[in-house]
Chains A and B, each alone.
Chain A
């Protein structure tokens, strides 16, 4: 696979990759910051606020009109969470309109995206009192609405229990209770601190005509904008966020009740293995054989054999090393489902893994990773995962490593995996 070329100046990094098969030029700027209880909610608001207006274009309408005028360049901000880090991101997808127009769409689109992130002063644009009040109200509703997606709500609750007392347990969107205390001034302070202390990674991927020139200009621009004096807190080293195993042999059980027709059952394990670990390829294989695909043990047993669920997957969090099984079942089938899930892991621990299961999983993973090279955003994400976890992985090398994983390696990883939490979101008692 082609690899990124990087130019850096202090804490600013521009990663570029030419990808000439594409009609879209992707541009992305990402900042990451450790999640802290005292500012989790304020940080979560920022990316949403940025789109409410800059100094130059002081409303969402004016910002969006500018983007639409660039042939519908999609400019958006987003808030991500990986383990105990918040990721604040602004992206632009720029259509390649070469031949349709002489306009310099690329430069203007990059400027616009940079403005979304940087063109703010206190009390103006998105930091004006009315804009802040509106966004706080929207954020309250955002937090409330997140409860309505039962499947992701359940997974988030489950992972919070697994990661108890660590930054990874803090919710991505923050807390309702914090909202009344937020003011334009406190939010602006958190924003400034973010710009002063974060490492900044920008990505340029796609059919850019003058990629190097665009990257050089961008780096100079970012250096010019950013406050220079502050020392940057470096990221925590590789694997630091992986939740350690605690030699526990049993699950903590958490039940929450809501008015639901279908119950959500999430079963989580601590693996102690993160993205940079030598055993990571074996863990990926284990997750695949266990519940990652339609040929997996969970899919075949929970769904196909026992008809207990429509959805059943296992999910691997590569920052914390948590392996979680997610399934939606009828509330009465709790015991049966837990038994069947546990049995499947027991099978792996006992080495009951067929050659076909190994082969299908390798091929499926290989397919997944090869597919990434068709997607500029996926390539940037992969690279960024390496940045966040402090352990860059080459995709081709990972595919080689996966091919070398043997059944014994899976058995060993499976035996070391520890039960952590069974989370059950079910109907209110006494309802049928």
Chain B
């Protein structure tokens, strides 16, 4: 079960338990910290699914709501249990996963047991469900005042006309007030079966010991058979819903994001990793800090140094985003359109492409120093069928011809979407 990868020299041990739980252990001798994450392939987009053959549509924001409620336990406060063993604990919900994690420098066995036990036990009352609504409402309000969050959320809402990636991960104040105890229970029983989950650890622990503790913990519990989960997503058109969207908010500086929508997602893990790396290298070449275009935008006062790019690809959808603060958001959009048209005709600069590849390899090596990063990446890619340790091999395999083909395919003007946040006044 153990294999070492020379280029990255990480020791990775992997196993699947009888109940279907996938466990990946990545010991890093010499590290004081152990970082462990227990995650389910269940996020905000999974709001429609079959339960006992019947279609169930649950209120938006429920995966995130459930994440909050998992910390409630009838016996002891979960935070306190970890605190007793010197661990810090937290959780997050994304579009396609919910993850619970702890970081500790001691008592790894105890903390591991607490992590597994609290996520595999649900305690809900009508009262504790109601109580959470006030807290989550404040979390949502905090996001509403944040222009960076708003401009991104509105970009996805404009880009997707049907797929639930268009909805905010936390839902809305209105939707979370509709959530009931029964909704939460249905979601929990559907998506928190071990066969839909993964436990990944990295850091200064003993791998053989940890494997034994996990097996012993799981052997004491029974979950019944884990069926395949039938998620329902509405059909999403290939083209963007709204090409241009503008939000008014009280801001000192306008925000402007420009995105391109892929016509589909990618279900094959290796292809997904390849497309993600390739698109990332192209974007770094086109919009990164060494590009002439970045310097030009900066010189013309259209962006500031926070200007950045990102690319996201899952089995259901893919999109790229560039942007940030811009005092002249409309002019920025015009320049970007002209530029991408020009580049599509001329192709990617080969020297810049090589440099971006070299940089990506170096950054990957650096990222291995952060055990939390190793764990997060490992899980995010595994849920999408890919292995993040293939990164260097995939980066090595990228060719300029592929880049030029991808450039034409992805930066299609018909797939472009603009989201701006401008001042109300």
Contact = CB atoms under 8 A, between A and B. Distances in A.
Interface stretch (A112-120, A165-173, A224-232, A304-312): A304-312
Interface stretch (B100-108, B266-274, B309-317, B377-385): B100-108
A61 interface: yes
Contact of B83 (A72, A329, A360): A360
Interface stretch (B174-182, B231-239, B287-295): B287-295
Given A309-B138, A356-B84, A374-B32, A61 B299 contact: no
Contact of B358 (A72, A294, A366): A72
A23 B141 contact: no
Contact of A295 (B79, B142, B325): B79
B365 interface: yes
B50 interface: no
A64 B139 CA distance: 38
B283 to A, nearest CB: 14
B350 interface: no
A261 B79 CA distance: 29
Given A61-B295, A295-B83, A364-B86, A137 B138 contact: no
Contacts of A21: 28-31
Contact of A311 (B77, B133, B142, B305): B142
Interface stretch (A145-153, A211-219, A316-324): A145-153
Interface in B209-264: 250-253
Interface stretch (A82-90, A92-100, A403-411): A92-100
Given A69-B355, A356-B80, A262 B138 contact: yes
A73 B80 contact: no
A71 B142 contact: no
B365 A145 contact: no
Interface string A296-340: 000100010001111100000000000000001110000000000
Interface residues of B, number: 68
Contacts of A134: 298-299, 301
A72 B424 CA distance: 41
Contacts of A96: 365
Contacts of B356: 68
A363 B84 contact: yes
A328 B134 CA distance: 12
A142 to B, nearest CB: 7
Query: What size tier do the contact residues of chain A reach?
Result: 35 or more
A141 B327 contact: yes
A258 interface: yes
Contact of B304 (A22, A65, A141, A356): A141
Contacts of B55: none
B31 A23 contact: no
Interface in A11-36: 20-24
A137 B33 contact: no
Contacts of B360: 72
A144 B295 contact: no
B361 A294 contact: no
Interface in A261-320: 261-262, 293-295, 299, 303, 307-311
A256 interface: no
A359 interface: yes
A309 B135 contact: yes
A359 B83 CA distance: 8
B136 interface: yes
B32 A262 contact: no
Interface string B135-154: 11011011011111000000
Given A97-B362, A309-B135, A371 B424 contact: no
B340 interface: no
Contacts of B29: 21
Given A65-B290, A72-B360, A95-B365, A60 B295 contact: yes
B366 to A, nearest CB: 5
A148 B253 contact: yes
A340 to B, nearest CB: 14
Nearest to B86: A363
Given A258-B250, A295-B83, A374-B31, A22 B355 contact: no
Nearest to A143: B252
A260 interface: yes
A363 B83 contact: yes
A145 B253 contact: yes
Contacts of B133: 307
B131 interface: yes
9 contacts: A60-B295, A141-B327, A144-B252, A294-B88, A295-B77, A303-B135, A364-B88, A367-B104, A371-B105
Interface of B: 7, 28-33, 77, 79-80, 83-89, 103-106, 131-136, 138-139, 141-142, 144-148, 250-253, 288-292, 294-295, 298-299, 301, 304-305, 325, 327, 355-356, 358-363, 365-366, 368-369, 371, 424
4 closest pairs, A vs B, by CB?
Answer: A72-B359, A71-B362, A307-B134, A259-B250
